[in-house]
């Protein structure tokens, strides 16, 4: 074990050596350093955890990773970087956030954060079960295991310092609506949409409480994006013109309003923490409505295949690709392109910094 008098210094030196060129420019408050970033949730922030579990949702084959260094399909559901990577880079931590279950991960990688996320996960345990994903509860168990590993490596004091000062991002909820509520009949028989949203919000608040109990003090909880405007939803529910599916967008907005209000009420009880609702919906919609303001040409189709439906296994090495993925908001029928991730984080980051620091 590293001696107690130097363990915090060792962590700080390692963090400083890992600073990478930011693709998103932010200014943290003076004297603030973010030692690590942790992400929990679904495929939007899964860095390859699903590669190592028996899940139907994987992105570890071409053309996923087409624009990643070496054109390696890492398990990220993207042509390149994901939101996890862009946020880690934006907070000055490191350029690529690894998956916790990556068999090649090194102990030193743990010091600056990992992703516990799993493609097809949801707040609702039935969502994760339907998608054979690592549930949110399992992701929390992995974080507990991570903490013990970190204590073994750098000691309890340095571990507490890392956890307390790091940024935690919870990015999940879309699968609950599109799979468990609108896709499968069970939850619709139990709840109307308001009741189901309340159920999800309760699970989200419980999750924040669990993270706080484990030492997290800067937690960003994402709302659901413009789910009805992703290519697959346009194709399945947007009619002949592939318009945005208004009912699904309305459900996303309802959940977001309820979550935002409850988080506002909740965080006043925890004065030593910063718990922020992260508006994912409006930045997403702004890009879709004003694509040329962000250098985009295509916001209603993905780059893979026709762009209208291909996601996960329908997007494969035999599927034709668009000419230029950098002018597409979406990579496949559901997931943002690397360009899309960079743009949306650029829009979000200032408000996030104000809320979390």
pLDDT at residue number 28: 85
Q: How confident is the model at residue 25 (pLDDT cuts 50, 70, 90)?
A: low
Stated pTM of the model: 0.92
38 DSSP β-pair partners: 168
pLDDT at 17 over 80: no
pLDDT at residue number 8: 37
- Based on the residue annotation, tell me whether 328 is a catalytic residue of this protein: no
In this predicted model, what pLDDT tens digit does every residue of 147-175 receive, in sequence order?
A: 999 999 999 999 999 999 999 999 999 99
> Active site residue: 46, 102, 118, 335, which one?
335
pLDDT at 290 over 50: yes
Q: Would you put residue 295 in left (φ > 0), alpha (ψ -120 to 50) or beta?
A: left
**3-state SS class at 20:** coil
Q: How many CA atoms lie within 13 A of 110 on its CB side?
A: 23
Question: Of 18, 141, 19, 134, which Cα lies nearest the Cα of 75?
Answer: 134
Q: How confident is the model at residue 10 (pLDDT cuts 50, 70, 90)?
A: very low
Phi/psi of residue 64, nearest 5 degrees: -55, 140
- Which domains, ranges and CATH numbers included, belong to the chain? 7-229+237-296+338-356 (3.40.50)
Question: Of 119, 5, 44, which Cα lies nearest the Cα of 341?
Answer: 44
Q: Is the dihedral of CA 325, 329, 330, 335 positive or negative?
A: positive
pLDDT at 23 over 70: no
pLDDT at residue number 29: 85
> Active site residue: 85, 128, 332, 337, which one?
332
In this predicted model, what pLDDT tens digit does every residue of 194-211 receive, in sequence order?
A: 999 999 999 999 999 999
**3-state SS class at 264:** helix
Task: Give the separation between CA 30 and CA 16, rounded to whole angstroms.
Answer: 16
Q: Which residue has the higher pLDDT, 269 or 313?
A: 313
The DSSP element (H or E) to which 301 belongs, if any, is strand 298-302
> Active site residue: 42, 43, 197, 325, which one?
43
- Based on the residue annotation, tell me whether 46 is a catalytic residue of this protein: no
- Based on the residue annotation, tell me whether 335 is a catalytic residue of this protein: yes
Average pLDDT, the chain: 92
pLDDT at residue number 116: 98
Q: How confident is the model at residue 30 (pLDDT cuts 50, 70, 90)?
A: confident
Q: How confident is the model at residue 268 (pLDDT cuts 50, 70, 90)?
A: confident
């Amino acid at each position: 074990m590293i001696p107690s008098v130097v363990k915090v210094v060792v962590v700080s030196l390692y963090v400083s050596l890992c600073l990478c060129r930011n693709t998103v420019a932010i200014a943290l408050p003076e004297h603030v350093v973010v030692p690590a970033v942790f992400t929990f949730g679904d495929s939007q922030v899964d860095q390859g955890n699903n590669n190592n579990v028996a899940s139907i949702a994987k992105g570890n084959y071409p053309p996923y990773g087409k624009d990643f260094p070496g054109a390696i399909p890492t398990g990220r559901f993207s042509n390149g970087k994901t939101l996890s990577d862009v946020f880690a880079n934006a907070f000055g931590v490191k350029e690529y956030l690894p998956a916790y279950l990556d068999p090649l991960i090194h102990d030193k990688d743990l010091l600056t954060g990992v992703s516990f996320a799993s493609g097809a996960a949801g707040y609702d345990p039935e969502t994760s079960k339907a998608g054979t994903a690592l549930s949110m509860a399992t992701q929390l168990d992995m974080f507990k295991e991570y903490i013990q590993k970190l204590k073994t490596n750098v000691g309890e004091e340095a571990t507490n310092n890392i956890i307390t000062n790091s940024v935690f991002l919870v990015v999940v909820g879309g699968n609950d609506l599109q799979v468990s509520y609108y896709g499968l009949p069970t939850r619709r028989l139990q709840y109307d949409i308001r009741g189901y949203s309340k159920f999800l919000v309760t699970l989200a608040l419980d999750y924040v409480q669990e993270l706080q109990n484990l030492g997290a003090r800067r937690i960003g909880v994402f709302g659901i994006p413009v789910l009805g405007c992703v290519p697959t939803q346009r194709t399945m529910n947007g009619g002949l013109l592939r318009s945005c599916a208004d009912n699904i967008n309305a459900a996303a907005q309802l959940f977001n309003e309820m979550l935002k209000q409850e988080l506002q009420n909740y965080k006043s009880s925890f004065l030593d923490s910063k718990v922020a609702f992260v508006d994912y919906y409006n930045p997403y919609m702004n890009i879709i409505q004003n694509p040329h303001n962000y250098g985009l040409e295509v916001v209603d189709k993905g780059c893979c295949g026709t762009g209208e439906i291909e996601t996960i296994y329908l997007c494969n090495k035999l599927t034709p690709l668009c000419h230029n993925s950098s002018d597409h908001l979406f990579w496949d029928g559901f997931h943002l392109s690397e360009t899309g991730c960079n743009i949306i984080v650029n829009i979000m980051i200032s408000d996030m910094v104000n809320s979390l620091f």
